[in-house]
Amino acid sequence: MKLFRANQASEELIDNFLKNNTEINKASLLESGYVVQINHRITGCFTLESIDDDLYWLKQLYITRTEAIKLPYLVEAVLALALQKKAKKVYVRSHKLMLDIILESLQFQQEKASPIQEAVEDAHGKWWSYNISS
């Protein structure tokens, strides 16, 4: 599993990935996102947006069904990247039970209310946070 900035991937790789994953915002991915490459093809992506000096929002977390077993490793890689960026806390909005289970197993804490004002609220999904200690 290779993780790198989306804007460093070839346009062909990005377009092939997005062709089957139309819900992903290409502009946001290229601006502040990362991709996961396995066997010379992109199989996942995420954006890690700074919302304050040391607070980050993990957005657009996605991995293909065939690689879903690697999701816990991807989340751990995101946390390692956040640590490199000197983050103190990472927020995640989850809409899937499987992700809720993974986040809880990785010591994320469920938030009672939306910690990010500009986030769109909906009845589904939960906010989670992870405190990073260096």
- Count CB neighbours of 76 within 10 A: 12
Question: Which amino acid does the sequence have at 40?
Answer: H
CATH 3.40.630.30 fits 2-131, yes or no: yes
* Structural contact between residues 110 and 126, judged by C-beta atoms closer than 8 angstroms: yes
The model carries a pTM of 0.87
Q: Per residue in 94-118, pLDDT tens?
A: 988 889 999 999 999 999 888 876 6
In the predicted structure, residue 133 carries a pLDDT above the cut 90: no
